[in-house]
Amino acid sequence: MTALISLPILLPLFGAALAIGLGRWRIAQRLVSISTLTTVTATSVALLIRVDHDGAAAVHAGGWRAPIGITLVADRLAAIMLLVACLMLLAVLVFAVGQPGAERQHVGFHPVYLILTAGIAMAFLTGDLFNLFVAFEVTLMASYVLITLGGRPDQIRSGMTYVVISLIASTIFLLSLAFVYAATGSVNLADLHTKIAALPDGVRSGLAVLLIVVFGIKAALFPLFFWLPDSYPTAPTPVTAVFAGLLTKVGVYAIIRTQTVLFPPDTQPGHLLLIVAGLTMVVGVFGAITQNDIKRILSFHIISQIGYMIMGLGLFSLAGLAGAVLYIIHHIVVKTTLFLVAGLVEQRAGTGQLASLSGLARAEPVLAVLFLVPALSLAGIPPFSGFVAKLALVDAGIGGGEYLIVAVSLAVSLLTLFSMTKIWSNAFWGPPASHPAGPPRRAGLALMTGSTAALVALSIAIALWAGPLYALSERTAADLINPTSYIETVLGR
Amino acid sequence: MTVLLVIVAGALCACGTYLVLGRQLSRVVIGIGLLGHGVNIVLVLSGGDGGDPAFAGDDPSGFADPLPQAFVLTAIVITFGVIAFLLTLAYRSWLVTADDEVEDDVEDRRIATRPHTPHRENQP
């Protein structure tokens, strides 16, 4: 069990070191990255099965016991997130290998990509706040390099915004850590559960809001989302896809983890999270409607979708959290796919601007299908995964009597559909435009299309096996609502 | 002593915030450095009053809390690395634009100032 929990962090770091050493041999680098990620994915499958069967497990690094040492904890939520993240990282890596661009031109791509993997895995598995900060920094450092890979002027400009805003978020995180430590004398999440409950109401609310602000910047919650649509679209496609699918969700994971373990439902600041969720949905989707570039439209949709996950958390019920977990699983897969498709469109047509795209459906029918399935899924049209996830959330909202947020979420779904049809009718319908001829069909294109198709298949599989997945989400939500077993596992009582 | 450090931390954070709000990249980098120092001092203070060096004697009751010190060391190293990266990025930005200013989101400005939605039907 110790190996299962620590491997997803250690293995990518070793892989990264190896990949730096093999910098001169690209084939060897690829072998290292792909085999590392495959092993980590296999590990996380094993971890999820074990955790779902036996309950949460903890590892104390260096043998220092819980409240003092660094603790790694795997419970159902962490294991699910880890598995989905690994699948995305693997698929996007295959896409990157096939794509002429970032991966081929830069020796640093593979090592940095693996470090990003390690950071994300650490953020999911860590059991204390300070280690979460370190995990965020590892992830961010890797993401700074990836987002500016290539060093074009527009990348430098938008990368600068991203780096500065992330740095400020990290500084506020450090500040809230100092406050948490000063108030309680601990940073271990399980230990903090009892210690924070003993604090006066005002201090507790202050800490809760500070942590929401910190993770809200990372998750791009209203009103802290301005950096996202500016910085994501300029990065190379595989990088944008991974960031869109995973990085904001690491923030959402941190919000869910801290709000459920540290701040019990009865101490929550009223409807704050629901209001933020509603505004995030609405503002994000309105932003998307005004845009004219595929990647920018999709970037604004990330923001809008984050609102749904926070809505599930804000309901603070078993059904709400289960819906949020299911929604995150669906969203990570679908969003990554959409960005990969946007990359394929750009590759084929030479641009992502809607005004200069036309008639791709006739020229590239496979591409059209690959776009249509995740797009309809994002909007929540019935047979696809988005429908199942949204149904779970809406059901939870009605069950909790929060009719306003349910109405908002349904209206936003409609607007999402509108925005997706805008891409569809502009880029895919109409007479074929005189696009510069795409690159000749090579193995690279097959890899790119293949990995995108695999993700589309995965999102359809989510819809097909929605029953077992929802049951798993419900078990996860039960752990979150009642964190006793998590705390007992960590503190070893 | 503690009050003095609180004031120092507050002053550092205030100066840092002011500089970060500027447009020039060099100011932003210095501002982030100052903010980081201010927060590091707060982190040191979170361990409570000072005491004997930790692990140096036999009686642990008089020890200063070593945990915040470990936090601060980690935080300093991370801030150092990130600021080094930021400086490289600023240098690169200066090389390509010959300017120190952080520009607006170009596409966003374009959409905000356009007269009406350019639909395909309107185009020849």
Q: Could you say which of B20, B32, B39 has the minimum Cβ distance to residue A178?
A: B39
Look at chain A and report how many structural domains it folds into: 1
Q: Which of A174, A186, A297, A357 to mutate to test the interface with B (most CBs of B within 10 A)?
A: A174
With CA atoms as reference, the chain B residue closest to A183 would be B46
Is B74 close to A134, i.e. CB distance below 8 A? yes
Q: With contact defined as beta carbons under 8 Å apart, do B106 and A154 qualify?
A: yes
Domains of chain B: residue spans and CATH = 2-50+65-113 (1.10.287.3510)
Residue A243's CB is within 10 A of a number of other CB atoms, namely 25
Per-residue model confidence as pLDDT tens digits over A447-490: 888 888 898 999 889 888 988 999 999 898 888 888 888 888 88
B93 in reach of chain A (CB within 8 A): yes
Q: Which of B44, B46, B100 to mutate: most A Cβ within 10 Å?
A: B46
Peptide bond into B124 cis (omega under 30): no
Rounded-to-integer distance, Cα A99 and Cα A470, Å: 35
Over 80: is that where the pLDDT of B110 sits?
Answer: no
Region A84-94 average pLDDT: 92
B105 interfaces chain A, CB cutoff of 8 Å: yes
- Asked whether the predicted pLDDT for residue A13 surpasses 50, the reply is yes
Angle value at C-alpha A139, between A134 and A144, nearest 5 degrees: 120
Q: How many CB atoms lie within 10 A of CB A48?
A: 21
| Owning domain of residue A179 | 2-432+439-491
When pLDDT is averaged across residues B36-52 and rounded to a whole number, the result is 85
- The pair of structure tokens assigned to A200 is 């006066």
Q: Do A167 and B123 touch (CB under 8 A)?
A: no
What value does the mean pLDDT of chain A take? 86
Asked if B76 reaches chain A (Cβ–Cβ under 8 Å), the answer is: no
Close Cβ partners of A266 (under 8 Å, ≥ 6 residues apart): none
Task: Give the pLDDT mean for B18-43.
Answer: 90
Q: Helical H runs in A55-75?
A: none
Scanning every residue of chain B, which has its alpha carbon at the shortest distance from the alpha carbon of A426?
A: B120
pLDDT band at B122 (very low <50, low <70, confident <90, very high): very low
The one-letter code for the residue type at A124 is F
Check CB contact under 8 Å for A168 and B20. yes
Mutation pick from B26, B39, B73, B123 vs chain A, by most beta carbons of A within 10 Å, is B39
Contact B32 A68 (CB under 8 A): no
Neighbour-count burial of A81, counting CB atoms closer than 10 A to its CB (0-12 exposed, 13-18 middle, 19+ buried): buried
Q: What is the pLDDT of residue A204?
A: 87
**Between chains, do A178 and B35 touch, taking CB under 8 Å as contact?**
no
Asked if B63 has any chain A CB less than 8 Å from its own CB, the reply is no
Mean pLDDT of A339-365: 80
CA–CA gap between residue A176 and residue A363 (Å, rounded): 54
pTM for this entry = 0.91
Q: Looking at residue A493, what is its pLDDT?
A: 56
CB contact under 8 A, B75 and A141: no
Query: What does the H/E/C string look like for chain B?
Result: CHHHHHHHHHHHHHHHHHHHCCCEHHHHHHHHHHHHHHHHHHHHHCCCCCCECCCCCCCHHHECCHHHHHHHHHHHHHHHHHHHHHHHHHHHHHHHHCCCECCCCHHHHHHHHCCCCCCHHHCC
Residues A210, A93 contacting (CB under 8 angstroms):
no
Give the tens place of pLDDT for each residue, A242-265: 998 889 999 999 999 988 888 876
Taking only the tens place, the pLDDT of each residue in A299-314 is 999 999 999 999 988 8
Yes or no, beta carbons of A171 and B68 under 8 Å apart: no
Chain A CB contacts of B42 under 8 Å are 175, 178-179
Please give the ipTM for the structure prediction. Answer: 0.87
Contact present, B53 and B13 (Cβ < 8 Å) = no
Task: Copy the structure tokens of residue A48.
Answer: 């999820």
Option in B45, B47, B89 nearest A156 (CB): B89
